[in-house]
Chains A and B, each alone.
Chain A
């Protein structure tokens, strides 16, 4: 890999041990993907919840911080695993909370802004078209690549941190224009409706494309999604397919036409109404008892908080059904100011800030609370939680609210 003089100095350890680790890490990863050099980035976003980090990961972060590591570009964080204002009622332990506190302290020492959100593109500083960034969180990456035209690979926590310590990332994958061209072409025959409809379509296309290295281009959509709808679409696609980029003809910036996205000569694969129904019918059944209803993955925008507050106003959840709502700290502050948090919590639901349900020790809190049958309007979370001992089911936000109040799937 070709390195500049400054990068060579980093590799030689002349700029401290943390940067030496960071460059060495990037060279290992870059070699695996034949990166010719490193590309400068404008910002980084790190996934580092304590469940994923474990003791080993937290000690690693503390080691870097003790070595006086400092980020050189703005770096923000993905949702945390513990809301320190509300963890005992969830059945989270002091040990979990301590790992969380240690993580926060190490990150803060390195100059990382603890924004704790997977909707940073709606709340903090969205990148612009052509911007090279090093973002963690699959939902963040696919949205920023696809909807905003920025350029990022999936950067797991270690490599996002390496990028922030050096201001660079290996130039491979979606930093290269040729890797952003469509490789699969899908035609949609039914217009997606609402957050869950978009999520289901994203899940179907993600499952069909099924690899990090496939780029779907989608034809046949003639409704303009809201930011929240396309957020659910991308998050589901990334979750089911490990997809980091999609194009929608006439909607996303690199696909003004099918030809521009590179899809004109690809064979067309049809997405039918049956494909969408088949995905939905995998989950749950009417009349089944619901233990917990979750609104998360991605965290809720202010508009989703407003909608949910409207649906829950004057209602009361069933005593046997918990309702958990996850949002970012910045949205939480606004939702509090606007009265949405009060309305939602008056129903018996709980709003958590800075966390997301699936990365807050989902298995352990499920066991602690006896939660197994779970309902959510997020296709992403329904996909994830099957491996965490839950029987998850998918429904719209309205159906989720009705079921939460009835205590069973309606």
Chain B
């Protein structure tokens, strides 16, 4: 069991399995939101389902559409359970705030895409700025 500290985030306490990539993230550029998979061929997670997973990524990239898209994905039950970033951007934080999606960033111990492994079971507590890795 490892406890990682981060900046207090958005949303409620959530548990789930991690889907990790050192790539950056855009809901518009990278996802097939109907099928719930990463669809951009160049993305390291191409073909992987993200639905219900806790995405662990480096940072956000690209356009503003992701804010509405997180809300729409959540409403259809086709969203990740949470997103953890080394560094979030404004758009993803705004989308998480509207969607009620859990999001945290700025971890004290370093690069979370290295600290967390694919398939790790995570407990994310955004109010406390805490992510527990239960291996």
Contact = CB atoms under 8 A, between A and B. Distances in A.
Contact of A55 (B24, B65, B75, B91): B75
Given A49-B65, A52-B28, A359-B65, A153 B72 contact: no
B68 A29 contact: no
Decide if the interface of chain A is mainly helix, strand, loop or mixed: helix
B87 A387 contact: no
Contacts of B61: 210, 240-242
A52 B93 contact: no
Contacts of A386: 29, 40-42
A242 B123 CA distance: 29
Contacts of B7: 32
Interface in A307-362: 359
A130 interface: no
Given A54-B75, A155-B90, A158-B71, A32 B9 contact: yes
Interface centre among A32, A57, A210, A383 (most CB of B within 10 A): A32
Contacts of B18: none
Contacts, number: 142
Interface stretch (B49-57, B94-102, B110-118): B94-102
The range of chain A's interface size is 35 or more
B72 to A, nearest CB: 3
Nearest to B67: A156
A210 B59 CA distance: 9
A49 B28 CA distance: 12
Interface in A8-59: 25, 28-29, 31-33, 47-49, 51-57
Interface in B60-76: 60-69, 71-72, 74-76
Interface of A: 25, 28-29, 31-33, 47-49, 51-57, 60, 78, 136-138, 153-159, 173, 210-213, 238-242, 359, 363, 383-384, 386-389
